[in-house]
Amino acid sequence: MRTMDILPFPRQAEDLDLNSLFRSRLSQRVVLWPEQALPLLGYMCYPNDNGARDDLLCILRSWPESSEAAAASVPKGLGRIQHDWLRVADIFHIHYDLVEGRHQARRGGPSLGKAITVVEANARAWGTKSSSLWKAWSSYKDVAHLVAAATVICAQARIRYRNKPLWPGGLSWNQFIPFQMAMLMPDLVLAVGLEFQRVGLSAVMHSRTEPVLDPATVWHIPPDIKVVPIPPPIRKIRAEDLVVLNHRRAGNRGKANRTTPVFG
């Protein structure tokens, strides 16, 4: 089992008021919890590359106590990383919706393959073919619960403040990205991540003996981190998505199943 090396917060974070938290954190650029936020981002960006993770931490720690730094200091490849994060978050959250909504019980229950089928069917962007989705999942599956949490929080912030004036000196609406959410609100990301982690480690896929998150390789959130789990929203699976799933041939994992195996 792998547990992230992140210091606990100084005090227990309970009953987080999202409106208050968004207003206080997004109205400024100060990183209140760098000892938690920076290591968290290191694991999220480079879950299985210790050298790249250390390099990223050096870059982030060289920044002033602000979430915004000079363009030259932006970690190389961050755009590509966040693109893959969005794909992984879509997959994991749809799987979560299938599990919590108790869908597909008569067709073997939820699975990653089914979640990827739904994401691919709804996708219009480049890089959302089945094989690309499996590749992104393979790269970030060990931090999928964290990536999904940061993406959900980002989406909520965008929804809440799409048509509302933002704060002078704070983030602009187009700066609401998962990276900034983890930087400014690591406590909230970890709180939502705890619930994603619980479901990901307990929901066993049909005809498999292991859950969707591999307990041996996933980066566990430290049990003494001093945050209380917050359930993410359970979204209703659309009727058209259920039609797609009902027409999906059992066991079909798309191109990735015929090329590079996802699970070693």
| Beta pairing class for 2-3 and 219-220 | parallel
What is the mean pLDDT of the segment spanning 12-27?
78
What is the mean pLDDT of the segment spanning 138-167?
88
| Best CA proximity match to 216, nearest among 82, 72, 48 | 48
pLDDT value of residue 185 = 92
User: In terms of pLDDT, which residue wins out, 25 or 126?
Assistant: 25
Residue 60 tokens, joined: 């982030």
| Beta pairing partners, 250 | none
Please check the confidence at residue 8 and state whether its pLDDT lies above 90: yes
DSSP H or E segment with residue 129: none
Q: Per-residue confidence at 5, pLDDT binned at 50, 70, 90?
A: very high
* DSSP percent split of the chain into helix, strand, coil, nearest 5: 55, 5, 45
Q: Per-residue confidence at 112, pLDDT binned at 50, 70, 90?
A: confident
What is the mean pLDDT of the segment spanning 179-195?
94
Please check the confidence at residue 261 and state whether its pLDDT lies above 70: no
Contacts of 256 (CB under 8 A, 6+ apart): 130, 131, 133, 134, 135, 262
**d(C-alpha 201, C-alpha 159), whole Å:** 29
Mean pLDDT of the chain: 79
Please check the confidence at residue 128 and state whether its pLDDT lies above 80: no
pTM as predicted: 0.82
